[in-house]
Amino acid sequence: MKWPQTVVLKEVGPRDGLQNEKTCIATEDKIAWINQLSRTGLTYIEVTSFVHPQWIPALADAEAVAKGIERVPGITYGALVPNQKGLAKALACDVDEVSIFISASETHNRKNINKSISESLPVLRDVAKEALAAGKSVRGYLSTVFGCPYEGAVSTDQVIRVAAALFDMGIGELSLGDTIGVANPAQVQRVLERILKHFPAERIALHFHDTRGMALANILVSLEQGITRFDAALGGLGGCPYAPGASGNVATDDVVHMFNGMGIHTGIDQEKLLAAARFIQSRLGRKLPSHTLCAAGEAIG
Ligand code: HMG
Ligand code: MG
């Protein structure tokens, strides 16, 4: 097997991770943590989301976080944005990249953003247009690509249809979400073989939640399909509050460990990453699920 020499890991812990944590992290601790992440060699950090605070109370301090962090040159600081109202706030904070999001399944989309897919698309189109006009890059997320908590199986034709609509809005990259961690390697291979007939691998990222422990295996299969961009959350934080049973993203530190061992370059310093993981673990007061933290015998505190 010929592996790529380099991959890009996108840290989504401050957004996808913290959005679902029961413990509310103080704004200054979020800022301190993101500043630590900025010194690990990561080149992309999704710092927060500008959604309705009643829907995601844990990220109600989005503006204070986005304005309070140190911006290290060479790192792209992104944020999730659902609509024009969120975009106005994101632009006021001068984030580098705006991530728009939608689901491939109707029920999850409605539970998550209170609209049907066809109602959501024009909203996202306007957000993307305005963000691009403001000089920002736009990333797209497509959720429930491998299964929906409400509808079960999701058709790959539907995934391709919604993905095409997002690319048509001018997104630079599309992140395909296994929102509830139901994917298996054979399925990932099958789905990617179809998707990559329509879109280039360089513009596709994979976003695996590790609910059933399949994420690293799924990343490996994606790698074999030519994918080199993966989302992850430090320590395996998080989940999706509108996807019952969803647990955290694959742990960034586990992915870095795997790639380091395989000789694939990530540019990320594992020791600094673990120090940042220890910091957020101590603030949350619960043991995070990552294997590398566990192997390092980390205690909470
Ligand atoms: P809505 O209630 O339909 O909104 O919510 P609306 O447009 O009808 O407006 C209602 C009120 O909300 C108005 O205020 C608006 O101004 C206000 P009022 O006039 O009543 O005082 N409002 C806002 N306030 C703050 N920020 C905003 C905003 N927009 C409207 N941006 C909405 C629609 C999209 C806002 C809501 O459904 C929402 O915030 N949803 C977010 C859900 C979410 O964040 N889910 C998790 C992220 S997605 C995810 O985790 C999946 C992913 O990781 C990939 C994967 O794993 O698959 C990305
Ligand atoms: Mg997610």
pLDDT in tens, 197-228: 999 999 999 999 999 999 999 999 999 999 99
| Average pLDDT score over residue span 71-76 | 98
Residue 264 belongs to a domain: yes
Where in the sequence is the domain holding 25, given as residue range(s)?
Answer: 8-295
Whether the predicted pLDDT of 185 surpasses 70: yes
Residue 171 alpha carbon to ligand 2 centre in Å: 18
Whether the predicted pLDDT of 87 surpasses 50: yes
Measured N-to-C along each axis, helices 185-195 and 156-168 cross at an angle, to the nearest 10 degrees, of: 50
Q: What is the pLDDT of residue 21?
A: 83
Residue 94 alpha carbon to ligand 2 centre in Å: 23
| Average pLDDT score over residue span 122-131 | 98
205 three-class SS: strand
Looking at ligand 1, which residue's alpha carbon is closest to its atom 8?
114
Report residues whose beta carbon is within 6 angstroms of any ligand 1 atom: 16, 19, 49-52, 55-56, 80, 82-83, 85-86, 101, 112-114, 141, 143, 177, 179, 207, 209, 240-242
Residue 240 alpha carbon to ligand 2 centre in Å: 6
Residue 300 belongs to a domain: no
For residue 159, the one-letter residue type is V
Which pairs from 216-221 meet CB under 8 Å and 24+ separation?
A: 216/250, 216/254, 216/255, 216/258, 217/184, 217/185, 218/178, 218/183, 218/184, 218/185, 218/188, 219/250, 219/255, 219/258, 220/185, 220/258, 221/185, 221/188, 221/189, 221/192
Q: Which residues make Cβ contacts (< 8 Å) with residue 142, sequence separation at least 6? A: 101, 102, 103, 104, 159, 162, 163, 166, 174, 175, 176, 177
Residues forming the active site: 240
| Average pLDDT score over residue span 82-107 | 98
Is the pTM above the cut of 0.95? Answer: yes
Question: Is residue 212 a contact partner of residue 197, using CB atoms and an 8 Å limit?
Answer: no
Residue 206 belongs to a domain: yes
Q: What is the pLDDT of residue 5?
A: 95
CATH number for position 288: 3.20.20.70
| Average pLDDT score over residue span 35-41 | 98
User: 95 falls in which pLDDT band (50, 70, 90)?
Assistant: very high
Give the percent of the chain with pLDDT over 90. 90
Looking at ligand 1, which residue's alpha carbon is closest to its atom 21?
52
Residue 55 alpha carbon to ligand 1 centre in Å: 6
User: 241 falls in which pLDDT band (50, 70, 90)?
Assistant: low
Give me the helices (H) in 208-267, please. Answer: 215-224, 252-262
Residue 23 belongs to a domain: yes
110 three-class SS: helix
User: 247 falls in which pLDDT band (50, 70, 90)?
Assistant: confident
Q: Which atom of ligand 1 is nearest to the CA of 239?
A: 50
Q: How far apart are CA 155 and CA 98, in angstroms?
A: 27
**In a mutational test of the pocket of ligand 1, which residue from 19, 51, 63 has the highest number of ligand atoms less than 8 Å from its CB?**
51
Q: How far apart are CA 67 and CA 247, in angstroms?
A: 29
Question: Is residue 116 a contact partner of residue 124, using CB atoms and an 8 Å limit?
Answer: no
Residue 65 belongs to a domain: yes
User: 240 falls in which pLDDT band (50, 70, 90)?
Assistant: low
Q: How far apart are CA 229 and CA 42, in angstroms?
A: 12
Residue 151 belongs to a domain: yes
Please count the other Cβ atoms lying within 10 Å of the Cβ belonging to residue 38. 21
User: 18 falls in which pLDDT band (50, 70, 90)?
Assistant: very high
Pairing relationship of beta strands 76-80 and 97-103 according to DSSP bridges = parallel
Q: How far apart are CA 46 and CA 249, in angstroms?
A: 13
Question: Is residue 139 a contact partner of residue 100, using CB atoms and an 8 Å limit?
Answer: yes
Give the percent of the chain with pLDDT over 70. 97
Residue 3 belongs to a domain: no
Measured N-to-C along each axis, helices 215-224 and 185-195 cross at an angle, to the nearest 10 degrees, of: 40
Overall domain count for the chain: 1
Residue 160 belongs to a domain: yes
When comparing pLDDT for 238 and 80, which is higher?
Answer: 80
User: 301 falls in which pLDDT band (50, 70, 90)?
Assistant: very low
Whether the predicted pLDDT of 298 surpasses 70: no
Q: What is the pLDDT of residue 239?
A: 64
